A and B are shown apart, each in its own frame.
Chain A
Amino acid sequence: MARAAQLEELGTAPPLSAGEWLRLNRAVVIRHAVINLFMVIILLPLAWVLLMSVKSLPDAMRGNLWPRRFDFTHYGFVFTKIETLPINLFNSIYVTAATVLITTICAVLAGYALVHLRPRGGPFVVAMLLASLYFPTRVVSIISIYEIQSFLGLINSTSGLILPYITLNLAISVLIMRSVFQLIPHELMEAAKIDGAGPWRTLWLVGLPMARNGLVVVFIVNFVTAWGEFLLCTTLTNDQTARTMPVVLAGAQGGLGQWAWPRLAAVYVIVVTPGIIAFTFAQKLFFKGLAEGVVKA
C-alpha cells in the first residue's frame, strides 16, 4: 500500500508488467472501482429517464432498456400538443423566480444587519430562526397556512404560493448569509462608514461583492426548494392550470396518448435540466460558499 502510494506520487514508476502493476496498485484500483460504482448508481436513474425520452413509443411499452428505434420528436410534441404544459412551465418559472429573488433579498439584508449593524434583539431573532429548524414547521403549519391563504383569497392562486414559499428556506438562508457576513472583517465595514458611506452603500459596495459565494448557495438552495415544492402547491391549488410543472408530473399517470411514457420523460428532462446545468456552471462558487456558510453554520 505504502509503496504503491509512493509510486503513484512519483509518477515515474519503473516499467512493470500489467500483472505486477495491478498487484502493486491493488488498493488504488479497488478504490476507484468502488467510487465509480457509486457514481454509476447516482447517474443511472437520470440516464434511464434521458434514454426513455428518446425511445419510440412501442419500445417504451416493451420496457427494453436499450431501444430498437430512437424517436426524437417527443420534445417537440410535448410543447405543441399538450396545452397545459406551457402554462405549468410558466407557473414554475414565475413562482420560483419570485421566491428566489425575494428570499435572497430578505436573507442578505437580515444577515448583514445581524452581523454588522447589531440591532437590539438580534440574538433573539437568531435563536428563533435556529429553533424553527428543529420543529417540523412545514408539516404542522400547513393547517393554518391554508387558513391564512383562504382568508387572503389566495386559494388556487399561483401567485399566492410565493408567500409561503419564501419562508420555506428563509431561516436557513438568513443563517447562511449571517455566517458569510461574519467572515467579512468588521473593520472593513467601519472603514466604509468613516468614509461617509451609509449602511445601504456599505452593504452594496463592500458587503455584497464579498458575499458572492454565499449568495450562490442561497440562490441554489432556494431554487431547488421552490422549483420542486409539492405539499403546499398540491394543498393550496386545485386546478391543473394553477399548478407548477413538477406537481403535475407527480400526478400524471404514465400510459397512452399525450402522457405516453417517452413524452412524460421528455417533460421530465426539460424540467430537471436547467437546475443541473446552472449548478454545473456555478459549482466552483457553490463549493466555496458551502465552505463559508453551511459548514460553519
Chain B
Amino acid sequence: MAQALTSRWPRARDGISPWLFLVPAVAFFVGYQVYPIFRVVWISFTDYQFLTNEPARWVGLDNYAVALNDPLMWVSLWRAFLFTMMFLPGTIILPLLLAILIDRVTSPRLATVYRVILLIPAVIPSTLVFVLWKWMYNYQVGPINHILVEVLGLFTVHNAPQWLGGTSLTLPSIAIMEIWWGLGYHTIFFLAGLAAIPKELPEAARLDGANEWQIFWHVTRHGLQPIMMILIVLRFGTSMAVIDEYLIFGGFNRDSPTYTWTIYMYDQAFKLGMWRQGFAAAIGMIGAVVMMFFVAILLYIFRRRG
C-alpha cells in the first residue's frame, strides 16, 4: 500500500510522457483500423455510394434485410465455411504429426536444418505463394498436370483436371495450397509446445508399458492442447475471411465456389457498375458477425476444458 502511494506521484507528474511513446502506434491504429470499422458500420445503415454527390441517407436495417433475404448471402457464407472445413483438419493434423517426428530427432544440426526448411514457406509473402501455386496448378505448364498426364498417364490432355478458375476443384486446390503454406509454421508452433512438456512424463509412461499411441493420447495431447486451441481459433477466423486467394484464383462468377461473402462484399463495393457500398458494408458486417460467432463458440468450448 505504501509503495502504491509513493509510486503514484511520479506517474501523475509525467502522465503525458508515456503517451508520447504510444501516440504513433495509437494514431495509425485508430486512423486505419478503429475508425474504418466504425465507419463501415455506419455505412451499412445508409445508401452510401462513392460516386454520387448526394449525401448518404440513413436507411436503417434495409441493407441487412435485403442481404439476409438474398440466397446468395447464405450460399456465400456456406462456401466460406466449406473451405474452412477443407482446410482446418489438414492444417492441424499434418503439422502435429510432423512436429512429433521432428521432436525426436537427436542430432542438433539436423534439427536446425529441418527448422529452417520448415519456416521457408512462412517467409514467402502471401501473393508470391498464390502466384507459385497458380503456376503449379496451371493447365498447360503446371507440374501437377504434367505428372498426371505425361508421367502417370492417368489423364489425357483433353480431360486433365482444371484446378483453378472457379471449378468444383478450386476450393480443395486452395485448401491444399494453404496447408502447404502453413505446414512449416504450424509445425514450429507444435515443436515449441512439445519442448515445454517435461521429458520425464512420456519416459515414465513408456516404462509403464504404454505404446506410442497411448503416450500421445494421454500425455502429449494434453501438453499441446493450449497451442492447438490457439491455432484452431486463429486459423478458423482467417480461413472464414479469405479474400486474396479467391480474387486471384476465382474471379467474380457468382456460381464459382470461391464466390464467398468476402468476394460478394468486394464485388458490390468495387466491381459492379453501381457501386452499392452501403449494401456491401452490410454483407461485410454479416460475414464478420458470423465469423466471430463461430470463434466465440470455439473459445467457449475450449475455455471450459481449461
**Complex CA distance for A166 and B119, rounded to whole angstroms:** 23
Partner of A234, one of B40, B120, B128, B247: B247
Counting CB contacts under 8 A, is A38 at the interface?
Answer: yes
Counting CB contacts under 8 A, is B4 at the interface?
Answer: no
List A residues 1-59 near B (Cβ within 8 Å).
2, 8-9, 31-32, 34-35, 38-39, 41-43, 45-46, 48-49, 52
Chain B residues contacting A113 (CB-CB under 8 Å) are: 18-19, 21-22
Counting CB contacts under 8 A, is B58 at the interface?
Answer: no
Chain B residues contacting A230 (CB-CB under 8 Å) are: 126-127, 130, 244, 247-248
Shortest beta-carbon distance from B205 to chain A in Å: 13
Counting CB contacts under 8 A, is B188 at the interface?
Answer: yes
Q: How many residues of B contact A (CB 8 A)?
A: 89
User: Which of B68-76, B136-144, B161-169 has 4 or more CB atoms under 8 Å from chain A?
Assistant: B136-144
Counting CB contacts under 8 A, is B292 at the interface?
Answer: yes
Q: Is the CB of B106 within 8 A of A271?
A: no
**Complex CA distance for A114 and B132, rounded to whole angstroms:** 40
List B residues 16-51 near A (Cβ within 8 Å).
17-19, 21-22, 24-26, 28-29, 31-37, 39-40, 43, 50
Chain B residues contacting A118 (CB-CB under 8 Å) are: 11, 18
Looking at chain A's contact residues, the main secondary structure is helix
List B residues 91-134 near A (Cβ within 8 Å).
94, 98, 101-102, 104-106, 114-134
List A residues 59-77 near B (Cβ within 8 Å).
60-61, 63-65
Q: Is the CB of B35 within 8 A of A250?
A: no
- Chain B residues within CB distance 8 Å of chain A: 11, 15, 17-19, 21-22, 24-26, 28-29, 31-37, 39-40, 43, 50, 94, 98, 101-102, 104-106, 114-136, 138, 140-141, 143, 146-147, 150, 180, 183-184, 188-189, 192, 206, 237, 240-241, 243-244, 247-248, 262, 265-266, 269-270, 277, 280-281, 284-285, 287-288, 291-292, 295
Q: A110-B22, A140-B40, A144-B36 are in contact. List 10 more A-B contacts (CB 8 A).
A: A65-B146, A128-B34, A132-B29, A139-B287, A142-B269, A167-B28, A250-B131, A254-B141, A272-B125, A290-B192
